[in-house]
Amino acid sequence: MATTSSGDTSMRAVRINQYGTADEMHCDAMPVPEPGPGEVLVRQYFAGVNFADVYMRNGLYHGEHTYGTQVPFTLGLEGVGIVEAVGAGVSSLEPEMRVGYCLARGGYAESTVVPADKVIRLPEWCPDDTAAALMLQGATSHYLTHSLFKLEPGHTCLIHAGAGGVGQLLIQIAKTRGAFVITTVGSQAKAELARSLGADQVILYRQQDVFDQVEQITDSVGVDVVYDSVGKDTIHTSLRCLKVRGTCALFGASSGPVEAITPMELAEAGSVFLTRPHLAHYRRTAGEAQWRADDLFELLHDGRLKVAIDSRYPLEGAAEAHRHLESRASSGKILLAI
């Protein structure tokens, strides 16, 4: 095993030996990996915690082509740090460069190997923790509003879980696109937060009927697009909230996976469209990854986008970070400080 520039030959990493609850996560010592052709070794400062990590941990993604992982494996899909070494054929990145990435495996570790085309360069002015909070959730918010359904002035959107990490970003980006924003939250405190970010209407889903509220707000027309990260508890309502030929983007399952939707349900909702996207299909090249990141950094630099960090945990506290995320009590990004 070759040494890194710091001389280390071992590192800590959070591993999964079998699918299950957060109790299955263990921080173990491992050799520092070496980058192969087209890869870079990143020494990490922060790693992001996402529901996708939970789905990988509990086996929901087991067997899937895009995010499927066989045990044992190291958790984590995103991080920020510096390049320590580059593999053969990498010319766009070099050691000591500050970088971020997402959709590469093994992020819950002190160092990780990342395909060079998944790495983006960070602006000097952006703090590491802020950049880390924008990697996966920022890219998700960008493709949902810029590519999957390109929001424009006059559009109305419904964003579920508006106080969550993606939800907060979606509200702000949707407003920069000129859209009218309706969002759902679980408490008055989260409602105040959503309003402060620009939400035009906030629905307290524990106290109010979401469909009835959307009907009142839109004069029974419905919304152009629903961004649904909740899944099982919301999907049927999401479809009913759409206007005729509207679009529902189901991009998460914080309440559990959606088991089935009948084609006739889409017809009865107004000949609507339902899509279940993966970020990987909207971030396919290095150029696309950098474009999305640069757009987000511009909004951040101009003050049109604020990034909320809910909490930071040490690498050894990754299991507790997962429990906090799954409690649905967080308001913003959860990070591992490495």
User: How much is the average pLDDT of 271-296?
Assistant: 96
Question: Does the pLDDT of residue 129 top 80, yes or no?
Answer: yes
User: How much is the average pLDDT of 258-285?
Assistant: 96
pLDDT of 140? 97
Question: Does the pLDDT of residue 247 top 90, yes or no?
Answer: yes
Question: Does the pLDDT of residue 146 top 60, yes or no?
Answer: yes
pLDDT of 1? 29
Are the C-beta atoms of 170 and 227 separated by less than 8 Å?
yes
Question: Does the pLDDT of residue 61 top 90, yes or no?
Answer: no
User: How much is the average pLDDT of 320-327?
Assistant: 95
Average pLDDT of the chain to the nearest whole number: 95
pTM of the model: 0.92
Question: Does the pLDDT of residue 2 top 90, yes or no?
Answer: no
pLDDT class of 4 with cuts at 50, 70, 90 = very low
pLDDT of 68? 77
pLDDT of 148? 98
What are 31's strand-pairing partners? Answer: 10
Question: Does the pLDDT of residue 309 top 90, yes or no?
Answer: yes
Question: Does the pLDDT of residue 292 top 60, yes or no?
Answer: yes
N- to C-terminal Cα distance for the chain?
Answer: 22
Q: 289: which 2 tokens?
A: 């990854």
User: How much is the average pLDDT of 183-211?
Assistant: 97
Q: For the chain, what percent of residues have pLDDT higher than 70?
A: 98
Say how far apart CA 171 and CA 162 lie, in whole Å: 7
Q: How many CA atoms lie within 13 A of 270 on its CB side?
A: 20
Say how far apart CA 299 and CA 146 lie, in whole Å: 14
What domains lie within the chain, and their CATH numbers?
10-134+308-337 (3.90.180.10), 138-280 (3.40.50.720)
pLDDT of 225? 99
Say how far apart CA 184 and CA 45 lie, in whole Å: 33
User: How much is the average pLDDT of 68-78?
Assistant: 92
pLDDT of 7? 56
Say how far apart CA 338 and CA 331 lie, in whole Å: 21
Question: Does the pLDDT of residue 195 top 90, yes or no?
Answer: yes
pLDDT of 32? 96
pLDDT of 104? 94
Q: 5: which 2 tokens?
A: 């520039």
Q: Is the dihedral of CA 137, 142, 143, 145 positive or negative?
A: positive
Torsion angle of C-alpha atoms 8, 89, 122, 130, degrees rounded to 10: -50
pLDDT class of 167 with cuts at 50, 70, 90 = very high
Lowest mean pLDDT among 60-64, 140-144, 152-156: 60-64
Are the C-beta atoms of 169 and 197 separated by less than 8 Å?
no
pLDDT of 3? 35
